[in-house]
């Protein structure tokens, strides 16, 4: 996606307007104090009015039938204002897992409900052993039941469906996808985890002999898992560039208004040059995030490379934006009352979620090694 | 005309089928191309083009490459000169100069920088005085790439010292074939001598070789520079497909290139030679070094992002948004990439990075990279100047307070 179509620009406009009119950092700060972390009725309005639920899900499964490019646009606009909601968990992570791995029956059962917002879903994959290496799973599913503890699970509070990623004890150690219905007969316990980013809920989920249903037929697990991660990275990268762009704009605006030494600080080169460099980083990250979204939309075999490029580039851009924006604000940038730290915290948590910059550089090299036959 | 991809492809193909002959005379062939409009199809119909949208240029290039057809001369400054004349010249100038730019018969250079005015280009102190029907030029230019091969130069000079700095400048076409112009090559830190000092002692310019009017110099120079920044990187386009094609025309093109490309042989090295990073890392075993892997990945990510950002800019242009100061972003990106590439090549070469020429890795190419990269953040406007442009013109940040207002004669100079 080097240029957006008119329909895509319109979509961006609509989402941006919704966010501008109905959300604010004041509201976000209030939600940060709540247990669920989001405004349920606003979230329902968003799904109902804009139809962005299941935006990239085929119409036969209750979605809007658009592509990953449109999903990316929605995420960028949400990331721009740090819109707090389970959208990422339900409509990106869980939806992607179902789309990639689910059988037609499973898709038909769950995707429409997730798209409409009737079901809130999330995916649980981090465990103690794979916080550094997403491929290393210790906890397994035995005879269709799962006991274990999953960490950093997003929006598990209030979720009706959790997709667990864990190997099958009797098969190889390859990660498989499993459906766990939250309900009376499932002993699933949720414990919130303190996050530096209070605009996105994470928690620990304990599963105690919970019956799980295998998603799909259990084939190609390694490949599907790695695709699931790539898809998540691309989605997150697009969300991140939205936030980075907001930080850049807010830093420039502040610099144009703040006067020191009898002139706006935006006339000082130390400030201007920082912003020029930042613009370059942000544009780079956008290009990579958009390109990777197109790769998913088009089923491009280069996706593994592009996903790592997108995540690494948005990591660097978002953190640079966060650091520079605080620096340009000076002392006020370090206060709780100023909003910059909200973005800084989202940037930091996103930077390490689904792989650090260094990890993605290394992944990129491994993917290139394969291509070059080294 | 309906500018559809398939039509263009068909038309070019038909033209080449009917006309391309690898044994034709180079000059004759180029004139044929110019008359048909397929040399610079995006130029106006009136001036050897077809008014084709720039976006379709790639298709034309592909079809030329497919049959190995040589195209019009594009090397060096010549296209900047042409674009400037198309934008600001008069018809008799276009008539006189454009064709020979494209045939390769005449070569151009850019006479902007002076010892006292580089970044601050508008501080030019080269003097232009109208005497009768001629402009008389006195002063000095420096860092003039290709002046030693040039027939003409794009000259920025001051005609009025009482006006404020930017308003007293005019723009001229200077003929090098005259007594009042002396060229001294300058040797660079990488051993090449692609730029020069150029001295004017009562050099003459006919009145009709002034571009625009008195005082238009600054604005016209900006057009030239915008094209330069946009095209940073393909200034040494050879205009010929590589491949297993044979024919006598190639010998002619090669002979021309040998001269015209001489100042540019080191330009690919100046951009960092990203293409060499992975193959050399594999060959040397550096590919197994975790630190090198991180730096190589960083380089590859930067260069992919730059490529995609350029494609986005091009796509935006195709949608009708005008080419703006975004060219500065691309130039800055190119500098960053070149510097990262130099770091990577050093990491890969290890202690061999101190060796040069026949004793150095890749027959001295690595040393040439390390010794050429410093130019990329200076030539065509320094990185700092690009950052000023980006912050002011793209981000809308404030200008610095100025100390060079008022009549130019009173402004502090070197
Ligand atoms: C390989 C090469 C080829 C070239 N070819 C040509 C050519 O064909 N024709 C031509 O006309 N010129 C050419 N140049 C000249 C080039 O455009 C100038 O060297 C360049 O614009 C810088 O000017 P300067 O050398 O006078 O440096 P200065 O302008 O003196 O700059 C010195 C330092 O001060 C910094 N600086 C200056 N002003 C500012 C500011 N406002 N804000 C912040 N920092 C500032 C610069 O960034 C730089 O770091 C070439 C240069 C090179 C290296």
What is the residue-averaged pLDDT of chain A? 95
- The predicted pLDDT at position A227 comes to 96
Least confident segment among A282-296, A309-323, B189-203, B315-329: B315-329
User: Could you tell me if B135 and B128 are in contact, meaning their C-beta atoms sit under 8 angstroms apart?
Assistant: yes
| Cβ-based contacts under 8 A for chains A and B | 123
Nearest CB to A275 within list B308, B312, B397 = B397
**Ligand 1 mean position, distance from CA B414 (Å):** 15
Rg (CA), chain B: 23
Taking only the tens place, the pLDDT of each residue in B242-281 is 567 889 999 999 999 899 899 999 999 999 999 999 999 9
Taking only the tens place, the pLDDT of each residue in A138-185 is 999 999 999 999 999 999 998 999 999 999 998 778 899 999 999 888
Q: Is the pLDDT of residue A135 over 60?
A: yes
Domains located in chain A, CATH noted? 6-116 (1.10.540.10), 121-214 (2.40.110.10), 221-372 (1.20.140.10)
Q: Which atom in ligand 1 lies closest to the alpha carbon of residue B145?
A: 8
CB atoms within 10 A of CB B224: 22
Taking only the tens place, the pLDDT of each residue in B78-119 is 999 999 999 999 999 999 999 999 999 999 999 999 999 999
User: Could you tell me if B326 and B394 are in contact, meaning their C-beta atoms sit under 8 angstroms apart?
Assistant: yes
- The predicted pLDDT at position B58 comes to 86
Cα distance between residue B380 and residue B386, in whole Å: 10
Answer whether A261 touches B (CB < 8 Å): no
- The predicted pLDDT at position B242 comes to 54
What is the residue-averaged pLDDT of chain B? 93
Long-range contacts of A168-172 (CB under 8 A, 24+ apart): A168/A140, A168/A141, A168/A214, A168/A218, A169/A140, A169/A141, A169/A142, A169/A143, A170/A142, A171/A218
- The predicted pLDDT at position A220 comes to 85
For ligand 1, atom 35, the nearest C-alpha belongs to B384
- The predicted pLDDT at position A371 comes to 65
Taking only the tens place, the pLDDT of each residue in A36-78 is 899 999 999 999 999 999 999 999 999 999 999 999 999 999 9
Whether residue B308 and residue A277 make contact (CB cut-off 8 A), yes or no, is no
Instruction: Using pLDDT thresholds of 50, 70 and 90, give the confidence band for residue A241.
Output: very high
Alpha helices, DSSP H, located in B145-289: 217-231, 248-260, 267-270, 277-284
Q: Is the pLDDT of residue B342 over 80?
A: yes
Q: What would the mean pLDDT of B28-49 be, rounded to a whole number?
A: 97
pTM for this model (two decimals):
0.94
Closest CA to A348 of A226, A132, A200: A200
Q: Is the pLDDT of residue B348 over 50?
A: yes
Residue B139 β-bridge partners: B200
Which residues in chain A (306-345) have CB-CB distances under 8 A to chain B? 309, 312-313
**Ligand 1 mean position, distance from CA B119 (Å):** 5
- The predicted pLDDT at position A270 comes to 98
Q: What would the mean pLDDT of A242-263 be, rounded to a whole number?
A: 98
Instruction: Using pLDDT thresholds of 50, 70 and 90, give the confidence band for residue B233.
Output: very low
Please indicate whether residue A24 or residue B327 has the higher confidence score (pLDDT).
A24
Cα distance between residue A86 and residue B182, in whole Å: 72
Instruction: Using pLDDT thresholds of 50, 70 and 90, give the confidence band for residue B55.
Output: confident
Helix axes A221-257, A68-80, angle to 10 degrees: 40
Backbone angles phi, psi at B38, to 5 degrees: -90, 0
Query: Which residues of B are the active-site residues?
Result: 228
Cα distance between residue B70 and residue A183, in whole Å: 73
Taking only the tens place, the pLDDT of each residue in A189-227 is 999 999 999 999 999 999 999 999 999 998 888 899 999
Distance set, CA B255 to CA A268, B21, B74, B243, B260 (Å): 51, 18, 15, 17, 9
Alpha helices, DSSP H, located in chain A: 6-22, 25-32, 40-45, 68-80, 87, 95-101, 104-116, 221-257, 269-298, 303-329, 340-352, 357-372
The tokens for B97 are: 């100069």
- The predicted pLDDT at position A365 comes to 96
User: Could you tell me if A97 and A135 are in contact, meaning their C-beta atoms sit under 8 angstroms apart?
Assistant: no
Whether residue A369 and residue B302 make contact (CB cut-off 8 A), yes or no, is no
Taking only the tens place, the pLDDT of each residue in A274-332 is 999 999 999 999 999 999 999 999 999 999 999 999 999 999 999 999 999 999 999 99
Cα distance between residue B130 and residue B126, in whole Å: 13
Least confident segment among A24-38, B45-59, B309-323: B309-323
Nearest CB to B309 within list A3, A263, A287 = A287
Q: What would the mean pLDDT of B37-60 be, rounded to a whole number?
A: 93
- The predicted pLDDT at position B324 comes to 64
Q: Is the pLDDT of residue B237 over 50?
A: no
Please indicate whether residue B384 or residue B241 has the higher confidence score (pLDDT).
B384
Closest CA to A241 of A76, A351, A354: A76
Domains located in chain B, CATH noted? 5-72+236-253 (no CATH), 82-231 (2.40.110.10), 266-394 (1.20.140.10)
For residue A275, give how far its alpha carbon lies from the nearest alpha carbon of chain B (Å): 7
- The predicted pLDDT at position A374 comes to 47
First to last CA, chain A: 31
Cα distance between residue A213 and residue B137, in whole Å: 86
Q: Which atom in ligand 1 lies closest to the alpha carbon of residue B146?
A: 8
B chain contacts of residue A255, beta-carbon cutoff 8 Å: 397
In chain A, which residue's Cα lies nearest the Cα of B318? A3
Answer whether A238 touches B (CB < 8 Å): no
Fill in the DSSP letter of residue B274.
G
For residue B133, give how far its alpha carbon lies from the nearest alpha carbon of chain A (Å): 45
Answer whether B320 touches A (CB < 8 Å): no
Cβ of B269 less than 6 Å from ligand 1:
no
């Amino acid at each position: 996606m080097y240029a957006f179509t008119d329909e895509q620009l319109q979509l961006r406009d609509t989402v941006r307007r919704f966010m501008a009119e109905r959300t604010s950092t004041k509201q976000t700060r209030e939600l940060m104090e709540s247990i669920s972390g989001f405004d349920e009725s606003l979230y329902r309005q968003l799904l109902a009015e804009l139809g962005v639920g299941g935006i990239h899900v085929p119409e036969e499964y209750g979605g809007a039938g658009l592509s990953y490019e449109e999903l990316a646009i929605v995420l960028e606009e949400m990331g721009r204002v740090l819109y707090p909601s389970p959208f990422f968990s339900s409509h990106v992570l869980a939806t992607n897992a179902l789309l990639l791995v689910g059988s037609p029956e499973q898709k038909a059962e769950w995707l429409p409900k997730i798209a409409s917002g009737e079901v809130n879903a999330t995916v649980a994959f981090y465990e103690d052993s794979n916080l550094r290496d997403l491929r290393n799973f210790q906890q397994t599913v035995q005879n269709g039941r799962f006991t274990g503890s999953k960490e950093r699970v997003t929006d598990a509070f209030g979720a009706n469906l959790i997709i667990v990623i864990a190997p099958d004890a009797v098969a190889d150690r390859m990660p498989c996808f499993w459906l766990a219905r939250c309900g009376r007969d499932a002993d699933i316990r949720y414990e919130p985890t303190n996050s530096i980013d209070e605009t996105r809920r994470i928690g620990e989920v304990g599963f105690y002999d919970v019956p799980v249903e295998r998603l799909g037929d259990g084939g190609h697990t390694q490949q599907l898992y790695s695709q699931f991660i790539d898809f998540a990275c691309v989605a997150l990268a697009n969300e991140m560039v939205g936030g980075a762009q907001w930080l850049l704009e807010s830093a420039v605006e502040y610099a144009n208004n703040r006067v020191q030494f009898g002139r706006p600080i935006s006339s000082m080169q130390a400030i201007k040059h920082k912003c020029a460099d930042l613009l370059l980083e942000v544009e780079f990250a956008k290009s990579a995030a958009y390109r990777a979204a197109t790769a998913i939309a088009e089923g491009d075999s280069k996706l593994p490379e592009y996903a790592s490029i997108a995540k690494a580039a948005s990591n660097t851009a978002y953190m640079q934006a966060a650091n520079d924006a605080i620096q340009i604000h000076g002392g006020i940038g370090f206060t709780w009352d100023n909003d910059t730290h909200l973005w800084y915290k989202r940037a930091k948590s996103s930077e390490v979620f689904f792989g650090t910059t260094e990890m993605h550089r290394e992944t990129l090299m491994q993917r290139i090694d394969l291509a070059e036959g080294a | 005309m309906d500018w559809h991809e398939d039509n263009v492809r068909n038309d070019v193909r038909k033209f080449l089928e009917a006309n391309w002959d690898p044994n034709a005379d180079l000059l004759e062939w180029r004139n044929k191309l110019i008359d048909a409009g397929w040399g610079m199809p995006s130029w106006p119909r009136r001036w050897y083009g077809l008014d084709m949208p720039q976006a379709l240029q790639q298709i034309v290039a592909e079809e030329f490459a497919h049959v190995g057809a040589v195209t019009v001369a594009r090397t060096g400054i010549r296209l900047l000169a042409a674009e400037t004349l198309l934008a600001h010249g008069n018809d008799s100038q276009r008539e006189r100069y454009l064709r020979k730019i494209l045939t390769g018969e005449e070569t151009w250079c850019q006479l902007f920088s002076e010892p006292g005015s580089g970044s601050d280009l508008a501080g030019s102190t080269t003097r232009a005085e109208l005497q009768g029907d001629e402009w008389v030029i006195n002063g000095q230019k420096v860092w003039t790439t290709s002046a030693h091969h040039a027939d003409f130069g794009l000259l920025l000079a001051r005609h009025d010292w009482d006006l404020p700095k930017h308003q007293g400048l005019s723009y001229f076409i200077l003929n090098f074939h005259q007594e009042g112009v002396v060229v001294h090559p300058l040797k660079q830190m990488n051993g090449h001598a692609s730029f020069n000092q150029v001295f004017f002692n009562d050099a003459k310019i006919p009145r009709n070789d002034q571009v625009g009017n008195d005082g238009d110099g600054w604005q016209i120079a900006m057009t030239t520079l915008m094209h330069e920044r946009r095209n940073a990187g393909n200034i040494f386009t050879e205009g010929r497909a590589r491949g297993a094609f044979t024919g006598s025309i190639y010998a002619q093109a090669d002979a021309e290139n040998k001269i015209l490309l001489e100042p540019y042989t080191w330009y690919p090295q100046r951009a960092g030679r990203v293409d060499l990073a992975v193959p050399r890392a594999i060959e040397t075993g550096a590919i197994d070094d975790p630190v090198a892997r991180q730096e190589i990945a960083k380089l590859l990510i930067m260069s992919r992002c730059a490529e995609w950002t350029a494609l986005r800019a091009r796509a935006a242009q195709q949608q009708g948004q005008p080419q703006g100061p975004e060219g500065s972003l691309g130039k800055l990106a190119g500098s960053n990439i070149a510097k990262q590439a130099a770091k990577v090549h050093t990491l890969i070469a290890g202690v061999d990075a101190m060796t040069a020429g026949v004793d150095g890795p890749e027959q001295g190419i690595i040393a040439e990279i390390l010794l050429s990269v410093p130019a990329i953040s200076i030539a065509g406007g320094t990185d700092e100047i690009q950052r000023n442009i980006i912050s002011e013109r793209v981000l809308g940040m404030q200008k610095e307070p100025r100390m060079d207002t008022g009549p130019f004669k009173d402004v502090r100079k070197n």
